[in-house]
Amino acid sequence: MKYEQLAKDIIKNVGGKENINSVVHCITRLRFKLKDESKAQTEVLKNMDGVVTVMKSGGQYQVVIGNHVSDVYKAVLAEGGLETASTEDDGGEKTGLFNRFIDMISGIFTPILGVLAASGMIKGFNALFVAFGWLDDKGGTYQILNAIGDGLFYFLPILLGYTAMKKFGGTPFLGMVIAMALVYPALEGIPKAADPLYTLFSGTMIESPVYIEFFGIPVILMTYSMSVIPIIVSAFFAAKLEKFFTKVIPSVVRMFLVPMFTLLIIIPLTFIIIGPIATWASQLLGTATVGVYDLSPVIAGAFLGGLWLLFVMFGLHWGLVPIAMNNFANPGYDPILALIFAHSFALAGAILAVWIKSNNQKTKTLSAPAFISSIFGVTEPGMYGIALPLKKPFIFTIISSAIGGAMLGLFGTTGYVMGGLGVFQLPSFIPKGGLDMSVYGAIIAAAVAMVLAFVLTYFFGGINKNEGSKTTEPAVEPQKSGAVEVKTEEILSPLTGTVKELTDIKDETFASGMLGKGVAIEPTEGKVIAPASGTVSALFPTKHAIGITTDYGAELLIHVGMDTVNLEGKYFTAHVAQGDRIDVGQILLEFDADKIKEAGYILSTPVIVTNHDSYGSLLTTEAKEVKVNDLLITLDNEKK
C-alpha cells in the first residue's frame, strides 16, 4: 500500500490506535477524536513528510494531509483496524458546548460532502447547458441529468438520517427509515388532493391547515424533502429512544422489537411535534439569514469573504454549512456560500505570485499543486503550506477575498443549489431564467480577487526575504582571527536561568537526544534572545518553539517549555517571522512565565543543535546559572 508507512507513523504519533476514539476525513484533513490529545506528538507530526500541518479545533485533532487524504485515510483504517467512525465518547476529553456542536455538524455532513458537491455540480452544469441553448429543458437528456443532480437533494433527509443516527450512536438504518417516512410521496401529496379538516393557529405566522389526524391528534403535514433540521432533531431523539429500549427489552427479541418500538414512537412524534417545530425553526433561520444579507449584501460579502479562511482554520465554517443547506430548502436560495466564492481564487493569486517570484526551490515545488488545488476550491495545501508560513501572502489573500466578497454582494450573486468548490461552484449561481449579471459578477469578483492578491503578494509579499536565500551558503564570510580561520562556533545563551542536562527534563524525545544535543535552561525571565546570527528557519504557529540556522550552518532549536504547544500560542509573543534575518542578541520571543506555570506547564527549555552529527565535537557550559549572551555551547567546525 502506497501510504502504509505514513499511516503507521500517523497512528503512532497520535498516541496509538488505543488513543483513537474515531477518525473521519474531509477534503484535506484526517479528523481524529482522541481520548487524550496530550499523548499526540504534534510537532513530530507537523514535521513528517506527507503531513502539511496539525490543527486542533472543534474537539477534533486534525492532521492536514492534502489532496490525497482519502488514500491516507484508507491506509489509516487498514493499519489501525479502525472503524470509519465511533459514536461513543469512551471517556475522552470533555469539550465545550460550541465545540460539541461543531463536532456534531462536521460528523453529520462530512461523509456526504463529496457526493453532495458532485450532485450540485451536475445540477449546475445542467442549468448552464440550458442557458447556452445546448439542451431543451423539456427534453429527455435534461430530465435524466436533472434527476441525477436533483435526486440527492430531494431525498437528502435519508442520507442525513443515516449519518445523524450514526453520529448520535443509534442504528443508521433506523435514521434512514424515519427519513423515508418523512418524504413518503403519499403523505406529501395529501394537501394537493384533499381539503383541510380544520386550521390550527389561525391568524398567526404559523397558521397550519390540518388534513389528517393520528388517533385523533392533529398532524401538520410539512414538506420534508430537501430539509435538514427536522431529520437531525428526530435522529437525536431516536438514538436516545433506541438506547432505552435496548436496555429494557430482553436480548432474545431485541433484534426486531427495539427498532419496531423506536419507529412506532419516533415517527408519529416527528410528524406531530418534532417536524413542525423544526420546520418553523428552519424557516425562521432562513428568513433571518437572508434578512441580515438584505441589510447590506456588500458588508456581508466583505465579512464572510474576508474571514472564510479563518473560519476554515478553526473549523467554524461547519456552523454555517447547515444554515446554507437549510436556505436551499427554504427560501430556495442561499447567499452565504455564494459570498465566499472569491476566497479560493484570491489564495490562488497569492500562491501564483510566490510560485513565479520565489527563489526557493522547495517553495516553488509546493506552489504548483497548491495553486491548482486552490483554483478547484481546495485551499488547505496553499494556506498551510505557502501562505501562512510566509504570512504576508495570507494577509493579502484575506484582503483580496474581502473585496471579492463585497463585489459578490454588490452583484447580488446567489447560490441556488449546493455546488462544487472553486470553479465548479460557478454553475450553482445560475438562476432559472439563465445567465444574468449575478453570474457574470461572480466571474468578475473572482478575477479581481485573484489579480489583486497576485499583485499585492508579488510586489509587497517579501517573498524571498521571508524564505531566506535560495542557497545554503553562509550569509557572511566565516569569522577570521588574523589570517587563520576560526574552527569553532560559539552559541550564546538565549535565556537567563538555571542550566540543566537534557536527561533531566521530563520529555523522552528531548531527554534521549533524539532531536539533537545541547542543554536545557529553566528560565527566570520571559525573553528568548538570538544566540547567534543567522536566519529563522522555523517558527511554530504556536510561537512556543523556534528554529535557527546560523551563518556557519549550525541548526538550532529552542523549545520553550514542555507540551506548551497545547497553549496554542497563548502567553507567547513572536518578534520575528519565519525566514527573517536575525543578529546575535536580537529579541526573538517573549512569554509570560508565570501564566504558563499557572496553566500547569513546565518551563524547562531545551536549546539543542539538531545537526550535531555534522560536527567533530559539541561542548556545553559547566556553569549552573547563565545570563543572556553567556557562552552556552561550543561547536568544533571541523566535520567528522
| pLDDT tens, residue by residue, 309-338 | 887 766 566 667 777 877 887 778 888 889
The CA-to-CA distance between both ends of the chain, in Å, stands at: 38
Quick one: cell of 526?
A: 520571559
Report the residue count for the chain.
640
pLDDT at 88: 41
pLDDT, residue 475, reads 36
Please report the pLDDT score of residue 283 as a whole number: 75
Q: Which three cell numbers stand for residue 302?
A: 466583505
pLDDT of residue 94: 47
In 3D space, the residue among 353, 339, 425, 340 whose CA is nearest the CA of residue 382 turns out to be: 353
* pTM higher than the cut 0.85: no
Q: Which of 26, 317, 343, 544 is an active site residue?
A: 26
Residue of 556, 518, 560 whose CA lies nearest to 537: 556
Short-list 628, 439, 618, 453, CA closest to 526: 628
Residue 583 phi, psi dihedral angles, 5° rounding: -115, 150
Q: Does domain 480-636 have CATH number 3.40.50.150?
A: no
The angle, 0 to 180 degrees and rounded to 10, between the axes of the packed helices 343-357 and 297-313 is 60
| pLDDT for res 212 | 94
Q: Domain residue spans in the chain?
A: 4-95, 155-295, 297-467, 480-636
Which of the following is catalytic: 317, 343, 544, 559? 559
Predicted local confidence at residue 613, as pLDDT: 78
* pLDDT value, residue 579: 82
Has 575 been annotated as catalytic?
no
Q: Is 26 an annotated catalytic residue?
A: yes
The three cell numbers of residue 429 are 449561481
CATH superfamily of domain region 4-95: Glucose permease domain IIB (3.30.1360.60)
Radius of gyration of the chain (CA): 29
Do 228 and 326 form a contact (C-beta atoms < 8 A)?
yes
- In which residue are the cell numbers 545570563 written? 627
With a cut of 50, list the residues of the chain below it in pLDDT: 85-94, 468-486, 640
pLDDT recorded at residue 118 = 79
Classify residue 295 as exposed, middle or buried by CB count within 10 Å of its CB (0-12, 13-18, 19+): exposed
